[in-house]
């Protein structure tokens, strides 16, 4: 009967060292993305502390499922997806209490509307006021870089439904603060 090969303690230490390095590298990668994730979560949740909770929970889930991340280049999209799902989970679970935006969001001062940033401020206020069904795909697209097909998959919607929501989201924002339509330009009404 042959004894099993004895593992070299040297190679074992080397493997452990590599694993530790990989973990450290992944930790650094996750941490580097935290600001992006937090911003994304804040635009979804419209609540800073809640967004921090969401990101924390999402990073925890991501860490537990880190073996699923094969390509570090895909980490951002992967983490954003986890954050979105965590937000959706929390939203479903809690049926989040309705909060007056006037209590939580700094509405742009109308007096400041004359400044160059007025339009941007108004747009930010408009984004905050967008219903989640419009805000979510828009934030995913513009901030997350997801394609309409990816958004449709993630939100479990048809591609047409996503296109319509994105169109309506922009239409609402355009109506709020957009420039005057150019002559002959579209009315912005949703196409059939």
- Which of 116, 134, 137, 145 shows the shortest CA–CA distance to 175? 134
Q: Measured from the CB of residue 79, what is the shortest distance to another protein in angstroms?
A: 16
Q: Measured from the CB of residue 53, what is the shortest distance to another protein in angstroms?
A: 6
Work out whether 71 is an interface residue with another protein (CB under 8 A). no
User: How far apart are alpha carbons 58 and 116 in whole angstroms?
Assistant: 37
Work out whether 43 is an interface residue with another protein (CB under 8 A). yes
Within 10 A of 12 (CB to CB), how many other CB atoms are there? Answer: 10
Q: 29 in helix, strand or coil?
A: helix
DSSP label at residue 180: P
The pattern of x and - marking residues 77 through 96 that bind another protein according to CB under 8 A reads -----------------x--
- For residues 5-34, which are near another protein according to CB under 8 A? none
| Cβ 137 vs Cβ 96: under 8 Å | no
Which chain residues interact with another protein by CB under 8 A? Answer: 38-39, 42-43, 46-50, 52-53, 94, 103-106, 119-120, 123-124, 127-128, 138-139, 141-143, 148, 162-168, 170-171, 173-174, 177-179, 181-186, 188, 190-192
């Amino acid at each position: 009967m042959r004894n099993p090969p004895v593992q070299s303690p040297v190679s074992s230490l080397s493997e452990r060292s590599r694993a530790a390095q990989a973990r450290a590298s992944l930790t650094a990668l996750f941490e580097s993305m935290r600001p992006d994730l937090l911003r994304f979560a804040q635009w979804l949740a419209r609540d800073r502390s809640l967004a921090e909770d969401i990101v924390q929970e999402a990073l925890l889930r991501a860490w537990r499922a880190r073996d699923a991340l094969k390509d570090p280049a895909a980490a951002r999209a992967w983490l954003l997806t986890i954050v979105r799902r965590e937000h959706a989970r929390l939203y479903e679970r809690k049926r989040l209490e309705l909060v007056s935006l006037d209590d939580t969001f700094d509405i742009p001062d109308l007096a400041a509307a004359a400044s160059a940033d007025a339009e941007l401020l108004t747009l930010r206020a408009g984004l905050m006021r967008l219903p989640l069904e419009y805000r979510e795909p828009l934030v995913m697209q513009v901030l997350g870089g997801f394609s309409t097909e990816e958004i449709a998959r993630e939100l479990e919607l048809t591609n047409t439904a996503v296109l319509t929501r994105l169109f309506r989201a922009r239409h609402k924002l355009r109506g709020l603060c957009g420039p005057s339509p150019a002559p002959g330009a579209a009315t912005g009404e949703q196409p059939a």
